[in-house]
């Protein structure tokens, strides 16, 4: 099971957003670049970055920070947020140096874009994000409903040639309430997609629950808050950096 750490960037800073509510944003660090380097130090094999400003407003406000992260670490960067046309997608791969892009809103509103991207790049360069709220896919930074169920959206993307999706229940994001196992199982059993689980992971127990679905195609998991707040026994990274860099202002956990 591949564990993918998440760096959410808003106004150039590393943050977390609880349940998709902008007013619940909490800042972790002034420097997403330092966070990326620390994650690489802990031997993570890839990093996911979300440009939250891009997800909401449709343009990549944090592009230069993302470029610096790509230059600073020697592992693949997966990027989502604000990628809604082929020019931006191409630019992110060729100019920002990211390995793979994530599309959510664009995949819902512009199927031709998905076809064009798959025609220009391989399917390994694209992940479609399925963000759910109450069995309805949401878009535009989790603000608007798309009037399609997660399973139907997954089937549509599969029929177009998409090979991998990220699934998350946005009501669980940032609150450590556990992943939506039933929905993951539903999508896995009814498609042949590779699935990355995101949102809600709080502990090793949650990881084990997702790992039980690995044989069905759920082969990776994205984690944010639980990593930042030392929810795993193996973590020593934050104890190390807290003593060396007070600017990170990471929370202490007893």
Known catalytic residues are 8, 131
The 10 Å CB-count burial string (b at 16+, else e) for 232-242 is eeebebbeebe
Task: Pull the structure tokens for residue 164.
Answer: 């991998």
Closest among 44, 50, 31 to 248, alpha carbons compared: 31
Task: Pull the structure tokens for residue 147.
Answer: 């009037």
Q: List CB contacts of 3: < 8 A, sequence separation 6 or more.
A: 44, 207, 220, 221, 223
Look-up: residue for tokens 């406000």? 61
Interatomic CA distance for residues 109 and 127, integer angstroms: 15
């Amino acid at each position: 099971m591949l564990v993918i750490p998440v760096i959410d960037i808003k106004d150039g800073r590393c943050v977390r957003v609880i349940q998709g509510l902008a007013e619940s944003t909490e800042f972790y660090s002034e420097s997403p670049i330092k966070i990326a380097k620390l994650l690489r130090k802990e031997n993570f094999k890839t990093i996911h970055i979300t440009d939250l400003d891009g997800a909401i407003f449709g343009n990549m406000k944090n592009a230069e920070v993302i470029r610096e992260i790509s230059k600073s670490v020697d592992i693949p960067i997966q990027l989502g947020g604000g990628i809604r046309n082929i020019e931006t997608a191409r630019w992110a791969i060729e100019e920002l140096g990211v390995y793979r892009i994530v599309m959510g809103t664009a995949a819902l509103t512009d199927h031709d874009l998905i076809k064009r991207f798959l025609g220009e790049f391989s399917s390994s360069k694209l992940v479609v994000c399925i963000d759910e709220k109450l069995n309805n896919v949401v878009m535009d930074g989790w603000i608007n409903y798309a009037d399609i169920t997660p399973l139907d959206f997954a089937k549509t993307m599969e029929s177009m040639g998409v090979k991998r999706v990220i699934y998350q229940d946005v009501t669980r994001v940032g609150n450590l309430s556990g992943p939506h196992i039933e929905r993951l199982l539903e999508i896995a059993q009814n498609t042949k997609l590779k699935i990355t689980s995101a949102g809600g992971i709080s502990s090793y127990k949650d990881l084990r629950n997702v790992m039980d679905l690995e044989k069905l195609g759920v082969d990776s998991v994205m984690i944010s808050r639980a990593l930042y707040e030392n929810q795993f026994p193996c973590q020593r990274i934050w104890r190390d950096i807290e003593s060396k860099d007070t600017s990170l202002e990471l929370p202490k956990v007893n």
